[in-house]
Structures are given as C-alpha cells and as structure tokens.
Structure 1
Amino acid sequence: MLAAAVLPLPLPQQRLLERGLTQREVTCVEHRHRRRTGKRLTLDELDATLLALDQLSLLPEQARHLLRSTPGVELRRMCQTRRGWCSYRKTLCSCASLCSSGEEVTQPRFPQVLAFDCEFQPERFAAVDEDGRILYDGLVVGDREDTTLRGVLSCDKPNLQRLDVSALQKELLALQSSGCTFIAHTPARDLEVLRLPYLPVVDIARCGLSRDAQTASLKHMAQMHLGLKIHAGGRAHCAVQDARVVMAIFQKLFSQDVPPSSSERRNVSEMAH
C-alpha cells in the first residue's frame, strides 16, 4: 500500500515558518487575516509586510512578535511612519524609548519641570523635561531585582537600563532642592515605586478640581486638552509617551499665553501615532 503523498505547505506559511513562527502561530496569523479581510493571506501581501519590516532596525524576536500580534495592513502602515520599537508596548511607537536601544541617557542639569510616569510588573520609571527629552527611562531596582521581568521580550531584557532606587531618590531630591517642579497624573502608586511618598508633585488630574471631585483618566485628558487618542485597545502603556502627554497637558493648562516650541509641537504630534 502506497504512503499518502505529503503536500507542500502554501508559500505564505513557508515564509512565516522561515521567520521563526511556530505552525500554531502561522495558523493564527492566517485566521486573523481571513477574519479581517474575508480573504486568504496571499504571498504578495505577506511579502509586502516582510519587506516593510526589513526596512526597520528590529531584532528577530521583535519582528516575530509583530508578525504574530499585528494585522498585516496595520503593520505596513506603522512601518511607513518609521517608528521605533517600544519595549513597553511591544510594538512600534514614536516614543524613542531608551530602554530598547541601549543608548545612554543624556541628562541636562536641573530642568525646571520634570514629568514622570511609572509602569508596573516590572516597575519601570520614565521622566522627560520641558522639551520632551528623556531624562530617565529604565527599571527601578531595589535590594532584589525582579529577574523574571514579566511582559518584557527576552531580547529586550539585556537592554533595559537599571535605575538603583537609592541613587534615583537622591537625584530626584536634588532636583527638588534646585527648584524643579514634578508633575504626574495620579502619582500615588508611582511614588510608591520610587519609595518617595512625600515628594511634592503637581497632579494634573486634580488641576482645577475641587477636593472631592472625580479625576479624569489620562486618556480622557489627552483627548480633551490635546486632541490625542492614547491607550487604544487596552494595550500596555508606554511610560515615556505618558510622561510626554503629562508635560503637554501641564503646558497647555498653565502656559496658555505661551506658544509651544517647535520641539513641543513635534513631540505632541508624534504622540498620536
């Protein structure tokens, strides 16, 4: 009795397997494409997506994650904007996060205003100055570092900068002594991460509100004051992007008569993407 002939895989499946996806992931990619478009994934469509990805400076694991998590049409659109990889959201982003690039933070001395945001599990801290420049961007490390780093791709873990919490506290207190104003959105949990519960911070969520009034989410404030849509689809948040949004809202609320600088306009327009 002759053995049944083994049929070759369709070319789109072969391409995705060559990029390191598992057979199960390949099947999910095809099913998602069919649900969204009502058509089968063609080789031409997939090759266009792969070509767009190859134009970016991505690690193989980052590219694989995008292929298995993002529809091809959306992924090609994102690639056209030349965004960089964001290890917070695990997608392409305009934040230029230092955590994913391994670059050194260039910190100007004593900014007048510092906007910050923290993300949790793992604890990560990002802060920007008045011009949106990143002053801090990394893991907050205490006596024992969280080695699991849940939610972070393995290829990103070596590049995440470590911020010793004791040294970070001293630097932030030195900034406070120099007259720097700290701003954030509902910073209570953020201050717990920094172990600085009594650090004076302007909470933009309470600006203009009575003591008992309900605060608005950063997503709502970004839409109301800046016309920006952030935190779409319930995805993970980017601390760098959120810190820049906080700064832009603060400048809008307290500097109504001062036109934004060119760098501020650029940073705000990029946040929407």
Structure 2
Amino acid sequence: MTVIDFSAFIGRLATASGETILPFFRTSLSIDDKSKTREFDPVTEADRAAEAVMRRLIKANFPQHGIVGEEFGNEREDADYVWVLDPIDGTKSFIGGFPIWGTLIALLHKGAPVYGMMHQPFIGERFSGDNGSATYNGPSGERRLQVRRCASLSEATTYTTSPLLMNERDRAIFSRIEKGARLSRYGGDCYSYCMLAAGHVDLVVETELKPYDIAALIPIVTGAGGVVTTWEGKPAQGGGRILAAGDARVHEEALKLLNG
C-alpha cells in the first residue's frame, strides 16, 4: 500500500479519537501524575480512552502493523509499518482548558515517518503531511501549507514549549538562540510545529522529546518545505533535542549556535 492508501484510515483515527476526547475537555477531570521526578507529567482519562480507541481500530484493520503509544507502550515495533500515537500532545494545556493541544498520529515505514497528522478536534483543524506536501483542513477550508522564507536568526520568530523543561545546560545553550532571535515565545507544544509549517513561525527548539512527540510532525514540516533534525543535525524521529526550521538558512545558523 502507498501512503495515499492510508490517508482515509488516518482520518478515521483522528475522527474517532476526537469524538472520544471532546466530552472530557473543559470538564472536571481525574488527573494522574506519571512522573517519577519532581516534574509534573499529567495524564487523564481522555488520553487513555483516545489511545485505546485508536489502537482497537489499527488492530482490527492492520493486525500485522506495530504500534508505539504514549499511554500503553509498544507492540510489534519491528514491523515494516508502525503507528506512533500521542492521543493528547499538550496535556497541560488540555487540563487548563486551553485549545493548544492536539492528537498526533504518525505512520512509519521501515523506521522512517512517511505520514503525519495533527488533529485539534475542539477547533476542528487538521494538519497533515507526507514529506512531499502538507495540507491544512479547518473552518476556513483546505489549503496547502508552505513555510516562509527567513534568511537569518535576527529575522526569526522562535518557539519552545518552556525553557523550564530543559536541563540547566540545555537552557544555557538555548539562550543563544533567544538572544539572537527577533522574537522568542513560549507554549504551543505540537501547535508550534504546525504554525511553522503554515508560515507563521521560523524556528522551534525543544528538548527531552519522545518519538510520539515528534514523529507525526516531521512529515508535516518537511512536506511544507521545512527542516527537522536533532540539535546535532541527525534524523529526529527518535526524539531528544529537536530543532525545526522553515528555512534551511536559519536552521544552519541555529545549529551552529546550539553546537558552538
């Protein structure tokens, strides 16, 4: 099967997960803390229910495929096709009632992300990409996503979810980017990458990401003409310290600062 053959099914996963999540949003939720450290890492009934729904659909339609999920672990992760699921990326925003969270669905073929979708069911937006192209579908209609030109860091708008999520060393390194950028903003989680793909943001700099935090976003950003790597310039689907840019020139400048 080609990636195109999977796109309708990915839409079904997004719809099913969204229908599961929305009844929980902006309600009194039971919240658990998954963290084994001092950093608060919340999970809700909505996270677990949405991932369970997607897993059931995948197993019913593609039993030979693998699944990597945030809430229920990994199955058959050595399969040719593997689904990577984050039912609610931005759970802290979700429990605060802010709509800057989304469901991330990625399809990997032989370890490489070949299709990704970010679905925001409350607003009704979908961002999807297959590395060759990327599309927005929402209340304003459907359009192709395209990154914007940005020749240098001094012209760039950069985002990170929060520098407080970085260790002390990485925070100091990240400050080089902040000092050089025209504008630095915090927040966004998966939305930052989608806004980069849509041409509103120039750089996203993150650390400590898991595969399910980034795999779906790579085909969206690259499909819109952007670049996603680790801070070392390596493939990003394994997570870690991530640098996404709309323009290869500002990506190269940022890499030099991060490794300087």
**Normalising by structure 2, what TM-score?**
0.26
Specify the structure having the higher radius of gyration (Cα): 1
Query: Larger % of strand: which?
Result: 2
**Normalising by structure 1, what TM-score?**
0.25
